[in-house]
């Protein structure tokens, strides 16, 4: 029993409720937001240390032991994600203070932000499949409202599609849970894993696994990503950034959990399919990123490429590849938020998201320009920055597995090609917006964006820290990778008091 595990849910929940009760008092709401996220960060740091030195931490909620009650499980994988998510949330909330506007602030923006964090942290920490569904819904409902809050025409259009597609995928999620429960009679993930190992993952269970694959692919924008570019470009910058950083990542987390802990017995079916989907995601995402000439869409397709890359690591399915995917996942959470925030600032300055209307911004906004360039290089995977190590590990393992199966050569080639195209698409933004003749605000006054740049700079520091401090981070990532490759560690931690 360790009640600390539940704090990343309880703190934002409590803060969000208190904020909702005083919606006119914006000052207090801001202070509470910062305090809440800082507390979650502190708790996550403590949990990381506990998991490192004492093993996986579990909490049987209400004192009901594992397969019967709900368990919250903090293993290294989920704790690192909670830690990174709170860092990004802090930067985004600081950005929101100066950009979101008084009207949205008065209509529960900060509460919804906290509830979104409840959903995200809950999804990372839960050890129960139905609970995962509930936390997905907590996250999605907050995201529906955040997406439509403000009620512009573009937001409403985006929200309708987003709500429809997510309601559909949630329904399929429930169906999958029902099928699974009908066969194995349990919903605790560790217990599921034990029972599936006992009865063997036959054709029926593999089909159920594919149902879950469809669901989480829809949530994570893996191959089924058609809804994403529009939904993520409709809301205000900071909301788009939080979505890009956290929402798809929760889907990826669920994919990792399901296909390393529960459905790992038939990798020749499930993981091959994951590899194909990851490859197609990389290819189509890259095409989208290169094809468009407006910033919103290029950024949206970059999110998709990131998803493809991380899932490629899962599909290769060796410990090093999973570690690479985890490195890349942490890096992607930070840099995608950063990229969306910077993209938002550029659009704010230029007053348009069309690249053809921009140019010469480096004269007025040098700091913004260099921040954007460094982010671009980090996403491309240039060595001292954070995207490098994950890519190296994934590519290396992809090549190693390619020796046996030629298909993995193709996946690795696509991964490398996509890195090039990511770099190309973002450098295109950089060159067209920052170089050349000034086309925006010619003779107009300079916009004050210093306050907006500070959280971005903070995120960039985190990103550089992830790259430079990779060696320091290595034992933690290694522990997480080991836990993912060896599900019995997780099972033992959860069910030790029963078996």
* Structure tokens, 481: 């990778």
Q: Binding residues for another protein, per CB under 8 A?
A: 1, 3, 6, 10, 13-14, 17-18, 20-21, 59-63
221: left (phi over 0), alpha (psi -120 to 50) or beta: left
Give kind and range of the element (H or E) at residue 294.
Answer: none
CB of 40 to another protein, least distance (A): 15
CB of 58 to another protein, least distance (A): 10
**Cα(317)–Cα(271) distance, rounded to whole angstroms?**
8
CB of 17 to another protein, least distance (A): 5
> Minimal CA–CA distance to 289: which of 373, 349, 229?
229
Taking the least distance from each CB to another protein, the nearer of 44 and 393 is 44
Contact 61, 6 (CB under 8 A): yes
Q: CB under 8 Å to 177, separation ≥6 — which residues?
A: 129, 130, 133, 187
Question: Which residues are 126's β-sheet partners?
Answer: 72
**Cα(438)–Cα(360) distance, rounded to whole angstroms?**
4
CB of 70 to another protein, least distance (A): 8
Taking the least distance from each CB to another protein, the nearer of 3 and 152 is 3
Question: Which residues are 58's β-sheet partners?
Answer: 73
Q: CB under 8 Å to 229, separation ≥6 — which residues?
A: 288, 296, 297, 300, 301, 304
Taking the least distance from each CB to another protein, the nearer of 1 and 454 is 1
Contact 177, 129 (CB under 8 A): yes
CB of 13 to another protein, least distance (A): 6
* Structure tokens, 494: 């959860």
Taking the least distance from each CB to another protein, the nearer of 24 and 442 is 24
CB of 206 to another protein, least distance (A): 35
Q: How many CB atoms lie within 10 A of CB 158?
A: 21
Contact 161, 466 (CB under 8 A): no
Taking the least distance from each CB to another protein, the nearer of 111 and 386 is 111
Taking the least distance from each CB to another protein, the nearer of 82 and 473 is 82
Taking the least distance from each CB to another protein, the nearer of 10 and 45 is 10
Taking the least distance from each CB to another protein, the nearer of 18 and 211 is 18
Taking the least distance from each CB to another protein, the nearer of 6 and 117 is 6
CB of 18 to another protein, least distance (A): 8
Taking the least distance from each CB to another protein, the nearer of 106 and 354 is 106
Runs of H (alpha helix) within 265-318: 267-291, 295-316
Q: How many CB atoms lie within 10 A of CB 496?
A: 14
**Cα(179)–Cα(413) distance, rounded to whole angstroms?**
37
Taking the least distance from each CB to another protein, the nearer of 16 and 381 is 16
Q: CB under 8 Å to 325, separation ≥6 — which residues?
A: 256, 310, 311, 312, 313, 314, 390, 394
CB of 239 to another protein, least distance (A): 22
Give kind and range of the element (H or E) at residue 365.
Answer: none
CB of 7 to another protein, least distance (A): 9
**Cα(154)–Cα(74) distance, rounded to whole angstroms?**
39
> Minimal CA–CA distance to 381: which of 481, 299, 306?
306
Task: Give the torsion through C-alpha atoms of 200, 201, 204, 209, to 10 deg.
Answer: 150
CB of 4 to another protein, least distance (A): 10
CB of 201 to another protein, least distance (A): 32
């Amino acid at each position: 029993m360790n009640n600390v595990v539940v704090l990343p849910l309880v703190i934002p929940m409590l803060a969000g409720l208190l904020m909702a009760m005083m919606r006119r008092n914006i000052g207090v709401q801001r202070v509470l937001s910062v305090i809440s996220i800082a507390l979650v960060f502190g708790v996550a740091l403590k949990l990381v240390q506990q998991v490192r030195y004492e093993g996986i931490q579990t909490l049987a909620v209400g004192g009901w032991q594992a397969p019967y009650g709900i368990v919250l499980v903090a293993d290294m994988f989920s704790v690192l994600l909670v830690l990174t998510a709170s860092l990004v949330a802090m930067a985004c909330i600081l950005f929101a203070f100066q950009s979101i506007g008084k009207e949205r602030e008065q209509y529960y923006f900060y509460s919804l932000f906290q509830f979104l964090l409840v959903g995200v942290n809950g999804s990372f920490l839960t050890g129960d499949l139905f609970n995962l569904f509930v936390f997905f819904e907590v996250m999605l409902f907050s995201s529906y409202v955040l997406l439509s809050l403000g009620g512009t025409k573009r937001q409403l259009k985006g929200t309708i599609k987003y709500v429809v597609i997510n309601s559909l995928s949630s329904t399929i999620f429930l169906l999958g849970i029902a099928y699974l429960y009908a066969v194995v009679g349990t919903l605790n993930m560790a217990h599921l894993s034990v029972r599936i190992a006992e009865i063997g993952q036959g054709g029926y269970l593999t089909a159920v696994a594919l149902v879950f694959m469809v669901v989480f692919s829809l949530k994570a924008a893996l191959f089924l990503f058609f809804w994403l570019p529009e939904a993520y470009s409709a809301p205000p910058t900071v909301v788009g950034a939080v979505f890009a950083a956290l929402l798809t990542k929760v889907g990826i987390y669920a994919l990792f959990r399901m296909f390393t802990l529960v459905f790992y017995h038939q990798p020749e079916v499930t993981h091959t399919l994951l590899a194909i989907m990851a490859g197609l995601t990389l290819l189509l995402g890259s095409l989208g990123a290169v094809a468009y000439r407006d910033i919103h869409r290029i950024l949206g397709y970059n999110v998709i490429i990131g998803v493809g890359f991380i899932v490629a690591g899962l599909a290769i399915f060796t410990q090093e590849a999973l570690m690479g995917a985890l490195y890349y996942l942490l890096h992607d959470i930070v840099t995608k938020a950063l990229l969306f925030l910077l993209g938002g600032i550029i659009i704010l300055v230029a007053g348009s998201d069309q690249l053809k209307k921009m140019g010469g911004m480096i004269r007025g906004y040098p700091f913004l320009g260099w921040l954007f360039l460094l982010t671009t290089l980090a996403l491309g995977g240039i060595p001292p920055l954070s995207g490098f190590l994950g890519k190296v590990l994934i590519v290396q393992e992809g090549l190693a597995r390619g020796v046996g199966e030629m298909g993995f050569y193709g996946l690795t080639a696509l991964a490398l090609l996509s890195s090039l195209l990511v770099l190309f698409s973002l450098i295109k933004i950089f060159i067209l917006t920052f170089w050349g003749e000034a086309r925006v605000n010619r003779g107009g006054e300079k916009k004050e964006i210093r306050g907006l740049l500070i959280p971005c700079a903070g995120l960039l520091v985190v990103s550089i820290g992830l790259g430079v401090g990779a060696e320091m981070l290595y034992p933690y990532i290694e522990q997480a990778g080991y836990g993912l490759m060896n599900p019995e560690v997780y099972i033992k931690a959860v069910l030790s008091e029963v078996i």
